[in-house]
A = this chain, B = another copy of it.
Amino acid sequence: MARGKSHTNLDEAFLALPDYWSPRVVAAANGQYVKVAKVKGEFVWHAHADEDEFFLVRKGALTIRYRDRPEVVLREGDFHVVPKGVEHMPVAADECWVVLVEPAATKHTGNTVSLITRTIEEQTAHLR
C-alpha cells in the first residue's frame, strides 16, 4: 500500500489520488470522515443501510442514478445527500472530483462486494 502525506488543501489532496473510485480520508470530525475521490465511469449499484452520504462536486459533473426516483446531476459546487438505505449508482462521463462526508463506519460499496471496493484501511493508509 503506497503511503502519502496528509493534506490540508482539497485540490492538493485530489491531485495526490492514485486511482479512480479510491476515496482518501482527509479529515475526521465527530465520527465523520471527510473524503476526496476522483471518479470516472460507472460505479456499482449499492446502498448504505445506516448512513446518509453527502456529495459535493469540486470539479466536473457527477450523476447519481436511483432505482426509484429521478437521477440527480451535480455540477461544480453542487451538493446532494443520498439518504440511508437508498440504492444509488454514481456515474461520471468524464473525470470528476467529489468531496464526501459520511460516518467513519460507512463501507465504500455498502453491502455490495465488488472488485472496486476499497476498505477503510485503504482509504486512511496515507495518514499513518
Q: Which residues of A contact B (CB under 8 A)?
A: 8-12, 26-30, 32, 34, 51-54, 56, 77-81, 101-103
- The oligomer's copy count stands at 2
Q: Please provide the 7 A-B residue pairs with the shortest distance between their CB atoms, ordered closest to farther.
A: A29-B52, A29-B54, A10-B77, A29-B81, A9-B77, A30-B52, A11-B77
Q: A8-B78, A30-B52, A34-B79 are in contact. List 12 more A-B contacts (CB 8 A).
A: A8-B79, A10-B78, A26-B79, A27-B54, A27-B79, A28-B52, A29-B53, A29-B102, A30-B32, A30-B103, A32-B32, A101-B101
> Which secondary structure dominates chain A's binding surface?
strand
Q: Is the CB of A28 within 8 A of B77?
A: no
